Amino acid sequence: MTVQELPGAGASHRSTQPPAWSPRTDAAPLLPDPEPYRVLGTEAADGLDPELMRRCYAELVRGRRYNAQATALTKQGRLAVYPSTVGQEACEIAAALVLEEQDWLFPSYRDTLAAVARGLDPVQALTLLRGDWHTGYDPREHRIAPLSTPLATQLPHAVGLAHAARLRGDDVVALAMVGDGGTSEGDFHEALNFAAVWQAPVVFLVQNNGFAISVPLAKQTAAPTLAHKAVGYGMPGRLVDGNDIAAMHEVLSEAVRRARAGGGPTLIEAVTYRMEAHTNADDATRYRGDAEVEAWKAHDPVDLLERELTARGIIDEAAIQAVRDDAEAMAAALREGMNADPVVDPMDLFAHVYAEQTDRLREQAAMLRAELEAEDQS
Amino acid sequence: MAQALTRAMRDAMAEDPTVHVMGEDVGTLGGVFRITDGLAKEFGEERCTDTPLAEAGILGAAVGMAMYGLRPVVEMQFDAFAYPAFEQLISHVAKMRNRTRGAMPLPITIRVPYGGGIGGVEHHCDSSEAYYVATPGLHVVTPATVEDAYGLLRASIASDDPVVFLEPKRLYWSKADWRPEAPAAVPGIGKALVRRTGTSATLITYGPSLPVCLEAAEAAREEGWDLEVVDLRSLVPFDEDTVVESVRRTGRAVVVHEANGFGGPGAEIAARVTERCFHHLEAPVLRVTGFDIPYPPPMLEKHHLPGVDRILDTVARLQWEN
Ligand SMILES: Cc1ncc(C[n+]2csc(CCOP(=O)(O)OP(=O)(O)O)c2C)c(N)n1
Q: Coil, strand or helix: which one is B204?
A: strand
Residue B193 φ then ψ, to 5°: -135, 140
Over residues B257-297, the pLDDT tens digits come to 999 999 999 999 999 999 999 999 999 999 999 999 999 99
Residues forming a β-bridge with B290: B260
Calpha distance B165→B267 (Å, rounded): 21
Which of A188, A277, A276, A278 minimizes the C-alpha distance to A235? Answer: A188
Q: For A54, how many CA atoms within 13 A lie in the half-sphere containing its CB?
A: 14
CB atoms A348 and B53 under 8 Å: no
Do residues A256 and A266 lie in contact, with contact meaning Cβ atoms separated by under 8 Å? no
At B107, is the secondary structure helix, strand, or coil? coil
Distances in Å between the Cα of B101 and the Cα atoms of B71, B95, B97, B105 are 20, 10, 6, 9
CA of A179 to the centre of ligand 1 (A): 7
Where b means 16+ CB within 10 Å and e means fewer, B164-179 reads bbbbbbbbbebeeeee
Q: Which amino acid is at A225?
A: T
Closest ligand 1 atom to the C-alpha of B123? 25
Q: Using one digit for the tens of pLDDT, what is the confidence trace for A203-255?
A: 999 999 999 999 999 999 999 999 999 999 999 999 999 999 999 999 999 99
Residue of A nearest to B306 (CA): A368
Residue B110's DSSP bridge partners are B74, B164
SS3 state of residue A271:
strand
pLDDT for position A15: 60
Q: Rounded CA gap, B3 and A292, in Å? A: 32
**Which residues on B lie below 8 Å from A213 (Cβ)?**
24-25, 29, 32
Which residues in chain A have Cβ-Cβ distances shorter than 8 Å to B27? 214-215
A346·B300 Cβ contact <8 A? yes
CA distance B8 to B6: 5
The residues near A149 (Cβ < 8 Å, ≥ 6 apart) are: A109, A128, B80, B121, B122, B123, B124
Query: With contacts defined as CB-CB under 8 Å, which chain A residues touch B291?
Result: 349-350, 361, 364, 368
CA distance B140 to B137: 10
Encoded amino acid at A69, one letter:
Q
- Residue A12 scores a pLDDT above 80: no
Q: How far is B171 from chain A (nearest CA, A)?
A: 17
Q: List chain B residues with CB under 8 Å of A221.
A: 52
For chain A, give the mean pLDDT.
Answer: 94
β B286-290/B193-196 pair status: unpaired
Kindly report, residue by residue over B67-121, the tens digit of the pLDDT. 999 999 999 999 999 999 999 999 999 999 999 999 999 999 999 999 999 999 9
Mean pLDDT value across residues A101-113 = 98
Residue B12 to residue B221: CA distance in whole angstroms: 42
Catalytic residue among A287, A288, A299, A335: A287
Check if the beta carbon of residue A25 is closer than 8 Å to that of residue A231.
Answer: no
Q: Pick the catalytic residue from B20, B124, B139, B304.
A: B124
> Do β-strands B71-75 and B139-141 pair in parallel, antiparallel, or remain unpaired?
unpaired
Nearest residue of B to residue A361, measured between CA atoms: B292
First to last CA, chain B: 44
Dist CA A287 CA A216 (whole Å)? 9
Mutational pocket test of ligand 1: of A213, A220, A273, A279, the residue with most ligand atoms within 8 Å of the beta carbon: A213
B27, B52, B121: residue with CB nearest A184: B52
Is A127 touching B (CB cutoff 8 A)? yes
Report CB contact under 8 Å: B123, A348: no
For residues A340 and A126, the answer to whether their CB atoms sit within 8 Å is: no
Confidence of residue B182 (pLDDT cuts 50, 70, 90): low
From A371, which residue of chain B is nearest by alpha-carbon distance?
A: B310
> Is B300's CB within 8 Å of A344's CB?
yes
Give residue A1's pLDDT band: very low, low, confident or very high (50, 70, 90): very low
**Radius of gyration for chain A, computed over Cα atoms and rounded to the nearest angstrom:** 25
pLDDT tens per residue across span A49-74: 999 999 999 999 999 999 999 999 99
Site from A128, A219, A229, A282 to mutate, B interface, most B CB atoms within 10 angstroms: A219
pLDDT at B152: 97
Element (H, E) at A208: strand A202-208
CA of A83, closest atom in ligand 1: 19
Q: Which of B118, B169, B300 to mutate to test the interface with A (most CBs of A within 10 A)?
A: B300
Determine phi and psi for A238, rounding to 5 degrees. Answer: -120, 140
Query: What distance in Å separates residue B153's CA from the closest CA in chain A?
Result: 25
Q: Which of A157, A213, A149 is nearest to A180 (CA)?
A: A213
Tens digit of each residue's pLDDT (9 = 90 or more) over A155-193: 999 999 999 999 999 999 999 999 999 999 999 999 999
Q: Ligand 1: which residue has its CA nearest to atom 18?
A: A179
Residues with CB under 6 A from ligand 1: A 110, 149-151, 179-182, 209, 211-213, 274, 278; B 24, 53, 55, 77, 81, 84
- Listed residue (A217, A232, A208, A157) closest to A187, CA to CA: A157
Residues in chain A: 378
What amino acid is encoded at A324 in this protein? R
* Catalytic (active site) residue A189: no
Answer whether residue A35 shows pLDDT above 50: yes
* Cβ–Cβ < 8 Å for A147, B121: no
Per-residue pLDDT tens digits for A306-343: 999 999 999 999 999 999 999 999 999 999 999 999 99
- Asked if B292 lies within 8 A of A348 by C-beta distance, the reply is no
Total Cβ atoms within 10 A of residue A168: 8
Tell me the average pLDDT across A258-283.
Answer: 95
What is the structure's pLDDT at B177? 74
Phi/psi for A199 (5° steps) reads 50, 45
- Beta-strand relationship, A215-216 and A104-106: unpaired
CA B108/CA A55 separation, integer angstroms = 54
Is the torsion defined by CA of A356, A359, A363, A364 positive or negative? negative
Q: Residue B175's pLDDT band (boundaries 50, 70, 90)? A: confident
Which of A110, A151, A206, A354 to mutate to probe the B interface, most B CBs <10 Å?
A151
Preceding peptide of B237 cis, ω within 30°: yes
Q: How many helices (H) and strands (E) does chain A have?
A: 16, 7
Q: What is the pLDDT of residue B184?
A: 65
Q: How far is CA A320 from CA A66, A298, A300, B8, B41, in A?
A: 17, 20, 16, 58, 49
C-alpha–C-alpha distance, residues B189 and A51, integer Å? 68
CA dihedral A208, A212, A215, A221 (to 10 degrees): -50
CB A301 within 8 A of CB A244: yes
**What are the pLDDT digits (tens) for A276-312?**
999 988 889 999 999 999 999 999 999 999 999 999 9
By most ligand atoms within 8 Å of CB, the mutation choice from B26, B50, B53 for ligand 1 is B53
Arithmetic mean of pLDDT, B117-129: 95
Q: Are B121 and A81 in contact (CB under 8 A)?
A: yes
ipTM confidence: 0.91
Residue B81: what pLDDT? 97
Indicate yes or no: CB of B52 within 8 angstroms of CB of A371: no
The DSSP 8-state label assigned to residue B91 in this structure reads I
Q: Residue A10: which pLDDT band, with cuts at 50, 70 and 90?
A: low
Min Cα separation A115/chain B (Å): 18
